[in-house]
A = this chain, B = another copy of it.
């Protein structure tokens, strides 16, 4: 069990959730596509290694943002989905995506 840091500042806590190269993206894709299997996530997140995907999923699970459902079948099947806590972040992630989109558009225009 990883020991959880104690956060006093709610904003720092929120930033910590999205920190790292992949956590935000995993949440984003799970939000848009709903439940996804490990291999589906790996295809979606182009360029991610197995190690990073597993590590990212484990951390998000520890923080209660995603749910991991293991089906005892052969071959193995594991599905990931957002918890209510994870879903409560979705509006913010969408807002971030929109904001990024606008900025990239503006930048593209000014590059003409």
Contact = CB atoms under 8 A, between A and B. Distances in A.
Interface string A1-34: 0000001011111110111000011001000000
A103 interface: yes
A87 to B, nearest CB: 12
Contact of A11 (B7, B15, B25, B91): B25
- Give the interface SS of chain A, mostly helix, strand, loop or mixed: helix
A92 B85 contact: no
Interface residues of A, number: 31
A39 interface: no
A25 B15 contact: yes
A104 B28 CA distance: 22
30 contacts: A7-B100, A9-B100, A10-B99, A10-B100, A11-B24, A11-B25, A11-B28, A11-B96, A11-B97, A12-B100, A13-B100, A13-B104, A14-B96, A14-B97, A14-B99, A14-B100, A14-B103, A15-B18, A15-B96, A18-B18, A19-B19, A85-B103, A85-B106, A88-B99, A88-B102, A89-B99, A91-B95, A92-B92, A92-B96, A95-B95
